[in-house]
């Protein structure tokens, strides 16, 4: 042993600790609590709502401040959602080994993982997790499981000079390795940092609503000033209104106009729909880590799968035996292999098919080695060797010989995606070499166990026009065979080592191939990015750390609960019982959310549209605004808020069609204009006839309630017992508000004169007819979008 193998001295360790060259790794939080609070609380709309809320309390109009509850609920739900995502990301960790063995001062010692320093000599034994990146300096049949890092399910042989990555596990043999990267620079920790970068799932619903809020932001302040000025002028001018105290009425009316423009309930209702969808899925063993993911999977048109843990269960299954020669006793030899206590996974898989081991004791045996890829046992009738055909019978053989025919058959079986071993018998050699007279007795094929739900689930996605791509670290032909077993059209697998560097060319390769093998973690992420750049909405499923970056990059990441902590932490959805078959239920839930929120959004956006038009119209005409905030809260609750809650949760199986916002606005804007125009004409006519302002407001509230209920009935179609019941209940609620004295007094709903009742009836009737026409025209827009969506 040379001096370098003695490890670091105590002085060396102290110098490296002083220089900060330790394996200590401070996990950076994904997102600070303050940034989440700031993003959800310190917003322009919250500032606006809080200002209006505070002003109403100051002037003693608390009855008109009910809208503050909606803003509070939005803030709480949004903050809780993001804190949950933060907590999941902060739990992410790839290194789980509490201690590490190192050689220092020519003695083996155990230290905490954080105390490993640059240059330490790691002592590696079976079962150890490698704590830091290192270079192997000595190896004795050393095998490392890197499946969580690279996706390669087979253990990897390591020799002197090879890399040993942090986070991988020693499965066989022993060795020494010199640490050359520690802390944040190590592979596992750098992967962790990459995965913990915070991001929200892409949501068409959320982005569309945010766009509407941005538009309202740009216009709300000038409109607010316009309305406030008009209300002050309508009450005798700024000076007189201020002196007489009428400015309180003017301010209340201006606040009513401003708050009505903000679709506060739409944000709340979307969050509630997502949350209820998440609860429903939790009952089916699907954990939703970010609410908008419920919507996201319904939009997916390409789903990328890792093989191990997704299509297969990750264990080896004996497939079949293919006898090559009439040699007695070979089945009993396989039974002996299966019965050994130290049998590996391949040998154990033989137990169910070869149940009668040889009764005589073995006189000698050669343990399996990943270097030679075969093992042997000697009985009275000779030495039996089991291993890879090309290693047991190395070198070329004539095609017409027994070995040549065996090699040809083995190649054919391997091309079908089966792992192939040969059992051979020869004369005992007395050393670790294959007998020169060995003859092939039988070929044995093995496969991975396919998940029973995989084929049915993939069949569902095919029927829904969702393309499938399998990205695996395993041999591409093996993966292709498994893909064919689950019903995919995969004549061959593409070796990812041949992927083009050009992104456009990569996108073309991804369109033309279904199965990709030997894919590295970085390649998986790059392939997901390429699919997204090509216009696809991409889902990625997997369970290994090698899948974590691609799962995070995908529009929707889905992890198996049996997978690594890193993968589950960055996934949007986690299948708690590992059943791939739950994904169709997630898609169905997402479709219900999208279709129902689209219907609900038309209610809210119609209100925003008519509120904006009303504010501008009354601001320009210098007319008293025809509503109090509490009256708008009444009509909002009965025609939008309460029914929207139920409409957002009823069954709806309509397939996803892009263009949510355009379709919603195609109804909301013209319908809002109809409502605003009707109320403006109604108010102008009654004001000209000298009807008292309090009666004009009561009548305007009734007009708005009737038109709102008509819009509700139009949008609730197709009418069912549930939707008819919702509309009927809201009609009854509106009637009670006018009939019950306490509510009538609170909302200032006075009795209406015949003139006012006539105006209400004419306005409501004409508005309802025009809204029906608007819905008819908008139906054609939906039909056109549906046709485009199917062709796309």
Tokens encoding 286: 């699907």
Tokens encoding 79: 């903050």
What b/e sequence results for 202-222 when a residue is b if at least 16 CB atoms lie within 10 Å of its CB, and e otherwise?
bbbbbebbeebbeebeeebee
Active site residues: 306
Whole-number Å distance between alpha carbons of 294 and 592:
9
Length of the chain equals 792
For residues 30 and 86, is the Cβ–Cβ distance under 8 A?
yes
Whole-number Å distance between alpha carbons of 286 and 292:
14
Beta bridge partners of 369: 374
Per DSSP bridges, beta strands 169-181 and 163-164 are unpaired
Per DSSP bridges, beta strands 163-164 and 133-145 are antiparallel
Whole-number Å distance between alpha carbons of 248 and 2:
92
Tokens encoding 684: 């102008």
Tokens encoding 388: 């890879």
Residues ≥6 apart with Cβ < 8 Å to 74: 264, 267, 268, 271
Tokens encoding 132: 């830091």
Whole-number Å distance between alpha carbons of 534 and 528:
10
Kindly report the three-state secondary structure assignment for every residue of 171-190: EEEEEEEEEEECHHHCHHHH
Whole-number Å distance between alpha carbons of 216 and 267:
14
Task: Give percent helix, percent strand, percent coil of the chain, each to the nearest 5.
Answer: 55, 15, 30
What b/e sequence results for 100-139 when a residue is b if at least 16 CB atoms lie within 10 Å of its CB, and e otherwise?
bbbbbeeeeeebebbbbbbbbbbbbeeebbbbbbbebbbb
Whole-number Å distance between alpha carbons of 603 and 641:
9
Tokens encoding 500: 């083009």
Beta-strand (E) ranges in 307-438?
A: 312-323, 364-369, 374-379, 382-387, 419-426
Cis peptide before 32 (omega within 30 of 0): no
Whole-number Å distance between alpha carbons of 35 and 44:
15
What region, left, alpha or beta, does residue 158 occupy, with left being phi > 0 and alpha being psi -120 to 50 degrees?
A: beta
Query: Which contacts qualify for 14-17: CB closer than 8 Å, 24 or more apart?
Result: 16/117, 16/118, 16/119, 17/117
Q: Which of 148, 151, 154 is nearest to 168 (CA)?
A: 148
First to last CA, the chain: 68
Q: What is the DSSP letter of 67?
A: T
Q: What is the DSSP letter of 639?
A: I
Q: What is the DSSP letter of 245?
A: T
């Amino acid at each position: 042993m040379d001096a370098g193998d003695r490890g670091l001295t105590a002085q060396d360790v102290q110098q490296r600790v002083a220089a900060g060259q330790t394996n200590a790794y401070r996990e950076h939080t994904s997102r600070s609590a303050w940034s989440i609070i700031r993003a959800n609380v310190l917003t322009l709309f919250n500032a606006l709502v809080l200002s209006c809320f505070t002003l109403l309390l100051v002037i003693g109009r608390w009855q008109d401040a009910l809208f503050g509850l909606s803003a509070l609920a939005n803030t709480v739900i949004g903050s809780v959602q993001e804190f949950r995502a933060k907590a999941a990301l902060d739990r992410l960790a790839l290194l789980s080994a509490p201690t590490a063995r190192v050689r220092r001062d020519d003695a083996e010692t155990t230290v905490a993982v954080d105390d490993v320093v640059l240059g330490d000599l790691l002592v590696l034994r079976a079962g150890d997790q490698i704590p830091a990146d290192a270079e192997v300096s000595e190896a004795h049949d050393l095998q490392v499981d890197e499946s969580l890092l690279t996706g390669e399910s087979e253990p990897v042989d390591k020799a002197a000079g090879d890399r040993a990555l942090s986070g991988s596990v020693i499965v066989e043999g022993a060795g020494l390795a010199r640490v050359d990267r520690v802390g944040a620079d190590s592979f596992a920790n750098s992967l962790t940092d990459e995965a913990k970068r915070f991001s929200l799932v892409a949501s068409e619903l959320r982005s569309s609503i945010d766009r509407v809020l941005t538009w309202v932001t740009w216009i709300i302040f000038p409109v607010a000033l316009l309305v406030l000025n008009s209300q002050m002028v309508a009450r005798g001018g700024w000076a007189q209104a201020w002196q007489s105290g009428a400015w309180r009425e003017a301010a209340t009316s201006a606040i009513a106009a401003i708050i009505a423009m903000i679709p506060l309930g739409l944000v709340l209702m979307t969050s509630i729909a997502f949350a209820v969808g998440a609860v429903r899925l939790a009952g089916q063993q699907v954990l939703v880590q970010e609410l908008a993911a419920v919507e996201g999977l319904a939009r997916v048109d390409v789903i990328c799968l890792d093989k191990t843990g997704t299509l297969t269960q990750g264990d080896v299954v004996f497939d079949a035996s293919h006898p090559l020669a009439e040699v007695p006793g070979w089945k009993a030899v396989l039974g002996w292999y299966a019965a050994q206590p130290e049998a590996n996974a391949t040998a154990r898989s033989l137990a169910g098919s070869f149940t009668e081991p040889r009764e005589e004791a073995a006189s000698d045996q050669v343990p399996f080695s990943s270097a030679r890829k075969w093992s042997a046992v000697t009985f009275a009738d000779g030495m039996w060797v089991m291993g890879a055909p090309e290693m047991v019978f190395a070198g070329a053989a004539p095609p017409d010989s027994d070995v040549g025919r065996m090699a040809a058959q083995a190649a054919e079986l391997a091309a079908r995606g089966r792992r192939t071993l040969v059992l051979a018998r020869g004369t005992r050699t007395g050393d670790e070499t294959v007998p020169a007279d060995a003859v092939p007795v039988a070929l044995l094929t093995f496969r991975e166990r396919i998940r029973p739900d995989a084929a049915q689930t993939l069949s569902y996605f095919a029927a829904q026009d969702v393309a499938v791509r399998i990205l695996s670290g395993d041999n591409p032909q093996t993966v292709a065979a498994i893909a064919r077993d689950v019903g995919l059209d995969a004549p061959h697998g593409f070796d990812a080592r041949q992927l083009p560097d050009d992104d456009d060319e990569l996108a073309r390769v991804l369109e033309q191939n279904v199965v990709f093998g030997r894919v590295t973690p970085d390649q998986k992420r790059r392939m997901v990015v390429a699919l997204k750049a090509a216009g696809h909405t991409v889902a990625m499923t997997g369970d290994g750390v090698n899948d974590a970056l691609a799962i995070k990059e995908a529009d929707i990441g889905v992890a198996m609960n049996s997978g690594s902590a890193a993968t589950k932490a960055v996934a949007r959805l986690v299948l708690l019982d590992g059943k791939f078959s739950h994904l169709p239920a997630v898609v169905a839930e997402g479709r219900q959310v999208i279709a129902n929120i689209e219907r609900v959004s038309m209610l809210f956006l119609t209100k925003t549209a008519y509120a904006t038009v009303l504010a501008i119209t009354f601001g320009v005409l210098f007319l008293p605004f025809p509503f109090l905030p509490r009256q708008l809260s009444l009509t909002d609750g009965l025609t939008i808020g309460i029914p929207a809650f139920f409409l957002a949760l009823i069954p709806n199986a309509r397939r996803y069609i892009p263009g949510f916002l355009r379709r919603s606005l195609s109804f909301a804007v013209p319908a809002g204009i109809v409502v605003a125009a009707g109320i403006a004409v109604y108010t102008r006519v009654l004001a000209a006839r000298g009807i008292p302002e309090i009666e004009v407001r009561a009548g305007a509230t009734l007009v708005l309630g009737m038109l709102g209920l008509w819009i509700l009935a139009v949008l609730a179609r197709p009418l069912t017992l549930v939707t008819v019941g919702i509309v009927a209940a809201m009609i009854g609620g509106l009637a009670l508000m006018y009939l019950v004295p306490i509510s009538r007094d609170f909302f200032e709903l006075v009795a209406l004169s015949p003139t006012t009742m006539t105006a209400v009836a004419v306005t409501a009737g004409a508005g309802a007819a025009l809204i029906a026409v608007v819905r008819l025209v908008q139906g054609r827009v939906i039909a056109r979008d549906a046709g485009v969506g199917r062709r796309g």
